[in-house]
Structure formats: structure tokens, C-alpha cells
Amino acid sequence: MTERHVVPDHGGGGWKVIGSSTGATESRTTTQAGAIADAEYEVRRAGGGEVLIHGLDGKVNDKRKVEPGT
């Protein structure tokens, strides 16, 4: 199952999407909503999985299951 994390980008401002296995930044946006949309798109393309949404404090505030798609 694929996972992406939406986390605050404290260094650059805004929000970023990181891969759970690599920890690499996959995208950056100015809004949390934009980062969530990016993460859901990537998880859907990868065959489905979960998006974990972190708050400004770094704690997971929400988890969203994403079905596979195109």
C-alpha cells in the first residue's frame, strides 16, 4: 500500500508531500489543500493507499484512504 505524507514546509513556507518509504519531497504548494490534492493524485496513480495529513505541530491530524485510479 502506497503512503504519502502532507507536512508543513517549515524551511520554505507552505506545504509539501513526502513519500513514506524515501522521505523525499515530491511536491511543494502554498496551501495544505493543494498538497492534499497532489498526494491523493500520486497515491491514486500508484494503485491506491493512504494519505496522512500532518498539522503544523507535525502530528497526524487525518488519514484518508485513496482508491486506485488514473
d(CA 35, CA 41): 10
The HSE-up count of residue 62 (CA atoms within 13 Å, CB side) is 11
Q: What is the pLDDT of residues 9-68, one digit of tens each?
A: 998 899 999 998 788 899 999 999 999 999 999 999 999 999 999 999 999 999 999 999
Provide φ and ψ at 16, rounded to 5°: -140, 160
Count other C-beta atoms under 10 Å from residue 49's C-beta: 20
d(CA 9, CA 26): 12
Q: What is the pLDDT of residues 51-60, one digit of tens each?
A: 999 999 999 9
| pLDDT value of position 70 | 63
| pLDDT value of position 21 | 77
Q: What is the pTM of this model?
A: 0.92
| pLDDT value of position 20 | 81
